[in-house]
């Protein structure tokens, strides 16, 4: 069977680096197993879900390098969920309940005081048709619970019923269905909670592996029971740990913390985000992976920590620099061109400046310096300005290459007696307007003799 995974966010906000972790775990898993990646939008909460968020999520995924094989939208599948619901009701797998939250809370307290586990006691199963009618006549609407298969003959006589799964990340996991309340699958107003649509989709879409955050571990027992109740074999599950801020707080789509769009806008490279999102909390050192295939070769869900990983955004800057410092011109070319960096010199320019960039867009500033001259030129003392003028007299004739800087500064050293910083710093300031930056040996041929002389202070 073809490995098929899905990434199933609700389109209720922009995705953040924690969501990207889930998406990337799925993508890399599919990549390593020659599988398919289904993008599923869990938009059954019509009020909070928005098309613009779904579009933005797809945009963010593409930017990260994830290209789904198919896109599915739950709100187009209500008919199917209704069909399954009716079948479950008819099969006695879904039963109507009428309790209010307050009534449930009161019962829970009573059970606790009697030292009974605080699970739902299935009282609604005892209602006669007349009692149900009376409740409905009062204006109550039923919500519907899935009767968990945790008993032999009598649902009021539950017995330990273990569900096991071998988690891709966490290893052997066991849940006792008798320790759980029958989950509500359909609310009073007829809307679906996440469980039923998710399981129905996983079955219909041939999902073989469910890889998601460990905030869903507690749902897995119920979901496996539901897969079986619907006559399907449960997929393989993998629950990765969650990312938190360095302060230990969870990330939320709503607060916009560390959103992928925000990171993109601040100039972080997609592979810096992907490398950190995947490798954090793994047995691998977090290093900048230049491509998805390279990241895939370092990806191992089984080697992921089981406790939450703290995420430090400053690490992204470090990874970003590393990626830029090694980025081939072909990869940067289009974006450079959009910044106005193009033409014969573009490649040599890129190779000269990439080692000095925090963000790719910073190349534009260096391009201006190379093409138009330094932005500020008032840093030089009169004495240094005189020295620079003297040095410019000694500029060799063209053609120039990487060696020109050395031969020129050797000649200047000999003629003026200056050396070290006293020699180089005034030249750097005169040529670039800045006290630090790319190697002057690389910049000099880009300026050319004419451009260099034009910087005469």
Residue 212 interacting with ligand GLU (CB under 6 A): yes
Question: For residues 41 and 74, is the Cβ–Cβ distance under 8 A?
Answer: yes
Contacting residues for 162 by C-beta, under 8 A, at least 6 apart: 174, 175, 176, 177
Q: Interacting stretch for ligand GLU, rule CB under 6 A, among 90-98, 170-178, 182-190, 210-218?
A: 210-218
Residue 220 interacting with ligand GLU (CB under 6 A): no
Residue 11 interacting with ligand GLU (CB under 6 A): no
Q: Which of 50, 216, 264, 371 is close enough to bind ligand GLU by CB under 6 A?
A: 216
Q: Interacting stretch for ligand GLU, rule CB under 6 A, among 93-101, 149-157, 208-216, 255-263?
A: 208-216
The CA-based angle 109-111-114, given to 5 degrees, is 110
306 among annotated binding-site residues: no
- Report d(CA 363, CA 369) in Å as an integer: 10
Question: For residues 98 and 137, is the Cβ–Cβ distance under 8 A?
Answer: no
Site string for ligand GLU, 32-71 (x = CB under 6 A): ----------x-----------------------------
Size of the site for ligand GLU (CB under 6 A): 9
Whose Cβ is closer to ligand GLU: residue 9's or residue 121's?
9
Q: Interacting stretch for ligand GLU, rule CB under 6 A, among 4-12, 117-125, 160-168, 427-435?
A: 4-12
Whose Cβ is closer to ligand GLU: residue 8's or residue 148's?
8
| Angle between helical axes of 363-372 and 440-453 (0-180°, round to 10) | 40
Q: Interacting stretch for ligand GLU, rule CB under 6 A, among 5-13, 24-32, 61-69, 433-441?
A: 5-13
Least distance from ligand GLU to the Cβ atom of residue 434, Å: 47
Q: Which of 59, 63, 151, 194 is close enough to bind ligand GLU by CB under 6 A?
A: 194
Whose Cβ is closer to ligand GLU: residue 196's or residue 263's?
196
Whose Cβ is closer to ligand GLU: residue 194's or residue 227's?
194
Whose Cβ is closer to ligand GLU: residue 207's or residue 360's?
207
Query: How crowded is the C-beta side of 195, counted as CA atoms within 13 Å?
Result: 23
Tokens of 67: 């290209």
Quick one: which H or E segment has residue 107? helix 101-113
- Report d(CA 412, CA 390) in Å as an integer: 8
Whose Cβ is closer to ligand GLU: residue 9's or residue 445's?
9
Buried b (16+ CB within 10 A) or exposed e, 357-393: beebebbeebbebbeebbeeeebbeeebbebbeebbe
Q: Which of 85, 198, 275, 331 is close enough to bind ligand GLU by CB under 6 A?
A: 198
Residue 10 interacting with ligand GLU (CB under 6 A): yes
Looking at beta carbons, which pairs linking 346-352 to residues 24 or more positions away fall under 8 Å?
348/442, 348/445, 348/446, 349/446, 351/442, 352/438, 352/439, 352/442, 352/443, 352/446
Whose Cβ is closer to ligand GLU: residue 253's or residue 418's?
253
Report the 10 Å Cβ neighbour count for 47: 7
Whose Cβ is closer to ligand GLU: residue 8's or residue 31's?
8
Question: For residues 362 and 321, is the Cβ–Cβ distance under 8 A?
Answer: no
Least distance from ligand GLU to the Cβ atom of residue 30, Å: 15
- Report d(CA 115, CA 223) in Å as an integer: 28
Q: Interacting stretch for ligand GLU, rule CB under 6 A, among 2-10, 133-141, 365-373, 386-394?
A: 2-10
Residue 9 interacting with ligand GLU (CB under 6 A): yes
Least distance from ligand GLU to the Cβ atom of residue 215, Å: 7
- Report d(CA 426, CA 389) in Å as an integer: 10
Question: For residues 191 and 150, is the Cβ–Cβ distance under 8 A?
Answer: no
- Going by their DSSP bridges, the two strands 162-167 and 171-176 should be labelled as antiparallel
Whose Cβ is closer to ligand GLU: residue 277's or residue 370's?
277
Quick one: which H or E segment has residue 53? helix 51-64
Least distance from ligand GLU to the Cβ atom of residue 366, Å: 42
The three-class DSSP label of residue 95 is strand
Known binding-site residue numbers: 253
Binding-site ranges for ligand GLU (CB under 6 A): 8-10, 42, 194, 198, 210, 212, 216
Residue numbers in the known binding site for ATP are 253
């Amino acid at each position: 069977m073809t490995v098929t995974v899905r990434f199933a966010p609700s389109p209720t906000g922009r995705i953040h680096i924690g969501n990207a972790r889930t998406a990337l775990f799925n993508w890399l898993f599919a990549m390593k197993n020659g599988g398919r990646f289904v993008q599923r939008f869990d938009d059954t909460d019509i009020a909070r879900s928005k098309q613009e968020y779904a579009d933005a999520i797809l945009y963010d995924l593409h930017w990260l390098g994830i290209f789904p094989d198919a896109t599915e939208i739950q709100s187009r599948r209500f008919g199917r969920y209704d069909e399954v619901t009716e079948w479950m009701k008819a099969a006695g797998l879904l039963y109507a309940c009428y309790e209010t939250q307050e009534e449930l809370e009161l019962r829970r307290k009573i059970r606790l005081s009697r030292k009974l586990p605080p699970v739902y006691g299935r009282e609604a199963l005892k209602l006669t048709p007349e009692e149900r009618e009376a409740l409905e006549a009062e204006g109550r609407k039923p919500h519907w619970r899935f009767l968990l298969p945790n008993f032999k003959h009598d649902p009021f006589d539950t017995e330990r019923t273990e569900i096991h799964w071998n988690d891709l990340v966490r290893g052997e996991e066991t849940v006792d269905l008798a320790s759980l309340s029958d989950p509500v699958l359909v609310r009073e107003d007829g809307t679906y909670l996440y469980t039923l649509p998710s399981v129905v989709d996983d079955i219909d879409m041939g999902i073989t592996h469910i890889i998601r955050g460990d905030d869903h571990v507690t749902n897995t027992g119920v979901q496996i029971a539901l897969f079986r109740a619907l006559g399907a074999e449960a997929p393989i599950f993998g629950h990765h740990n969650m990312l938190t801020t360095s302060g230990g707080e969870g990330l939320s789509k709503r607060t916009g913390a560390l959103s992928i769009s925000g990171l993109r806008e601040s100039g972080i490279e997609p592979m810096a985000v992907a490398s950190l999102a995947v490798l954090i909390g793994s047995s691998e050192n977090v290093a900048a992976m230049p491509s998805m295939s390279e990241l895939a070769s370092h990806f191992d869900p089984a080697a992921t920590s089981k406790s939450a990983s703290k995420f430090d955004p400053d690490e992204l800057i470090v990874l970003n620099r590393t990626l830029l410092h090694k980025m081939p011109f072909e990869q940067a070319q289009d974006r450079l061109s959009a910044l106005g960096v193009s033409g014969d010199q573009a490649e040599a320019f890129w190779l000269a400046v990439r080692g000095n960039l925090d963000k790719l867009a910073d190349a534009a500033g260096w391009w201006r310096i190379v093409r138009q001259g330094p932005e500020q030129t008032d840093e030089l003392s009169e004495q240094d300005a005189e020295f620079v003028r003297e040095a410019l007299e000694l500029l060799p004739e063209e053609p120039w290459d990487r060696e020109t800087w050395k031969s020129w500064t050797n000649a200047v050293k000999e003629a003026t007696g200056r050396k070290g910083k006293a020699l180089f710093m005034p030249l750097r300031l005169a040529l670039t307007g800045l006290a630090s930056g790319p190697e002057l040996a690389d910049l000099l041929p880009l300026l050319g003799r004419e451009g260099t002389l034009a910087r005469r202070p």
